[in-house]
């Protein structure tokens, strides 16, 4: 054998009780699991796991590492947490499939998520070419962790009809269905949407249903950031459940939170909706992050009509005083659809990143605080930031409720997702801390979940959603994507004050039996690859 992990407390990802065993690894797979008292296997290398738990690698069901995986071979933000697989292409906006014009627009539109990409060689245009680029990684060696890809519906809509706020024609819907089918043929696991982001939010339910029919035909899943997490949250959840049931498509609800003051204490209403649908045969899962604030771009707070035509049109409207005043009124008084129908509270909007270093003085302050320092109204500060940084500012939105967070994470269809934006000087701590935060705070300190149940939420259940036949459990023949952690000390080091701090209590992480974290330090191993689902239309 290549490796034996001795005397581990095995938590196998099924939710079943932990047990003591030696686990042998050979050829990148789990070769033997020998319970305590059995004949011990031998190997070229042995790791003493006494006092440590051994689990499958964690699967981040909602990641924004689309360019980070190609920018940073180290990628310890995720590897150090025990993440061995990330699902990218989220929220309906990413970099494949594209043409030259769409690529330029998408780079500007989500510069707050990933930077402008000026350091990236965009050699791909199709989903398959992007996955090939991930496989190649750095000098042909690969990337830090594995990655699966969701086809972004907003990007697909850009290709078919641009940034226009109108119904798609029959021909345009046919073109979008073709693009989705092509992406699934090339290895994508499903389709994502960002229905509070333009241009994806311009799609009607009937348009989305047609795309979901294609996803269903390939046994993929639909992952919507739905139309509201605020004033219309429950209606938005109902819409997604009904839409996917009509299409016969599996549904995975992205960062399924109930935010803003209007939703405090209302998580049970969401869970009752899901339970009813599940009992009626619906295929539904969801992911959440174990924190209260959200994270997005400042530009996302604007009304959708202000974004029609794309990034250059947004900037032009912000430069025009009369139009900017209309935007302000909608954002501050009416509640923009980009801000989930809730009037914005500038003292809850913290600037977490900018592209232009000269604007760094805003970072770590709310828009209201920056405005007071400058003796101006918050909208004036926000408008100037958007213009000067060309839509680049990233924000933390402090609108969550602990009761809702805990109630949702206990649901049987829950999985873990960081929603981690790695770009910016002061990112949300979830980017570096989601998985140890679950294990340390919500298992050990608060007892919201048992250790076995939590590990299942982070491993076996997401692997089942992704239809991965040999990941997510510690089982003979499965891939040796493994994490050794100390249940007594594991904790997120990242905080809102020091968000780029690495976790503690996770000494070893393996992908395909190769150490990517060893004795708490990142190795130079690049074991990650694109995880393609090889499916054909049913």
Residue 423: count of CB within 10 angstroms of its CB: 22
**125 pLDDT higher than 70:** yes
Report helix, strand or coil for 99: coil
Q: Is residue 160 within 8 Å of residue 179, measured between CB atoms? A: yes
**160 pLDDT higher than 90:** yes
Going by pLDDT thresholds of 50, 70 and 90, the confidence category of residue 10 is: very high
pTM for the whole structure: 0.95
Q: Is residue 155 within 8 Å of residue 98, measured between CB atoms? A: yes
* Mean pLDDT across 352-370: 95
**232 pLDDT higher than 70:** yes
**536 pLDDT higher than 90:** no
Q: In the structure encoding, which two tokens stand for residue 41, read together? A: 């296997």
Mean pLDDT score of the chain, rounded to an integer? 96
- Report the CATH architecture of 58-292+400-468+475-522: Alpha-Beta Barrel (3.20)
CA–CA distance, 522 with 507 (Å, rounded to integer): 10
Pairing of strands 394-397, 414-416: unpaired
Task: Considering the chain, tell me which residue range(s) the CATH 3.20.20.140 domain(s) occupy.
Answer: 58-292+400-468+475-522
Question: What b-and-e string marks burial along 458-477, b requiring 16 or more CB atoms within 10 Å of the CB?
Answer: bbbbbbbbbebeebbbbbee
What percent of the chain lies above the pLDDT cut of 90?
Answer: 98
Q: Compute the residue count for the chain.
A: 538
């Amino acid at each position: 054998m290549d490796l034996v992990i001795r005397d581990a407390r095995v938590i196998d990802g099924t939710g079943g009780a932990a047990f003591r065993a030696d686990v042998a690894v050979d050829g990148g797979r789990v070769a033997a699991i020998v319970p305590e008292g059995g004949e011990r296997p031998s190997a070229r290398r042995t790791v003493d796991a006494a006092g440590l738990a051994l689990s499958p690698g964690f699967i981040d069901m909602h990641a924004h590492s689309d360019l980070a995986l190609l920018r940073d071979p180290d990628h310890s933000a995720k590897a150090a947490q025990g993440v061995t697989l990330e699902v990218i292409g989220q929220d309906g906006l990413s970099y494949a499939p594209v043409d030259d014009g769409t690529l330029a627009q998408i780079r500007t539109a989500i510069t707050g998520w990933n930077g402008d990409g000026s350091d990236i060689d965009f050699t791909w245009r199709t989903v398959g070419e992007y996955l090939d680029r991930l496989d190649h990684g750095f000098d042909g060696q690969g990337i830090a962790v594995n990655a699966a890809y969701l086809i972004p519906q907003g990007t697909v809509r850009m290709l078919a009809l641009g940034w226009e706020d109108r119904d798609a024609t029959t021909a345009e819907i046919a073109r979008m269905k073709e693009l989705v089918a092509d992406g699934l043929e090339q290895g994508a696991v499903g389709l994502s949407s960002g229905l509070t982001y333009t241009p994806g939010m311009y799609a009607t339910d009937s348009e989305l249903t047609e795309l979901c029919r294609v996803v269903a035909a390939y046994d993929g899943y639909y992952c919507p950031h739905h139309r509201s997490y605020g004033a219309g949250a429950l209606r938005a959840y109902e819409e997604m459940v009904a839409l996917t049931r009509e299409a016969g498509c599996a549904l995975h609800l992205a960062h399924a939170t109930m935010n803003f003051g209007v939703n405090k204490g209302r998580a049970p209403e969401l869970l009752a909706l899901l339970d009813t649908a599940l009992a009626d045969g619906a295929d539904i899962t969801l992911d959440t992050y174990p924190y209260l604030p959200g994270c997005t771009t400042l530009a996302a707070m604007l009304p959708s009509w202000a974004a029609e035509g794309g990034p250059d049109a947004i900037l032009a409207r912000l430069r025009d005083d009369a139009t900017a005043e209309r935007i302000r009124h909608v954002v501050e008084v009416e509640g923009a659809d980009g801000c989930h129908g809730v009037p914005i509270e500038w003292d809850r909007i913290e600037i977490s990143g900018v592209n232009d270093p000269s604007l760094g003085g805003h970072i770590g302050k709310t828009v209201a605080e920056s405005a007071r320092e400058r003796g101006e109204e918050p909208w004036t500060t926000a408008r100037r930031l958007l213009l000067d940084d060309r839509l680049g500012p990233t924000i933390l939105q402090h609108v969550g409720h602990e009761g809702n967070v805990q109630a949702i994470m206990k649901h049987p269809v829950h999985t873990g997702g960081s929603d981690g934006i790695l770009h910016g000087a002061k990112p949300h701590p979830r980017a570096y801390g989601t998985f140890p935060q679950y294990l340390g705070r919500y298992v050990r300190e608060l007892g919201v979940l048992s250790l076995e149940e939590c590990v299942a939420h982070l491993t076996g259940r997401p692997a089942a959603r992704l239809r991965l036949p040999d990941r997510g459990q510690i089982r003979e023949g499965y891939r040796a994507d493994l994490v050794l952690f100390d249940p007594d000390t594991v904790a997120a080091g990242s905080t809102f004050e020091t968000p780029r701090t690495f976790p503690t209590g996770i000494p070893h992480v393996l992908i395909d039996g190769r150490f990517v974290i060893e004795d708490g330090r990142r190795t130079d191993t690049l074991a990650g690859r694109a995880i393609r689902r090889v499916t054909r239309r049913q």
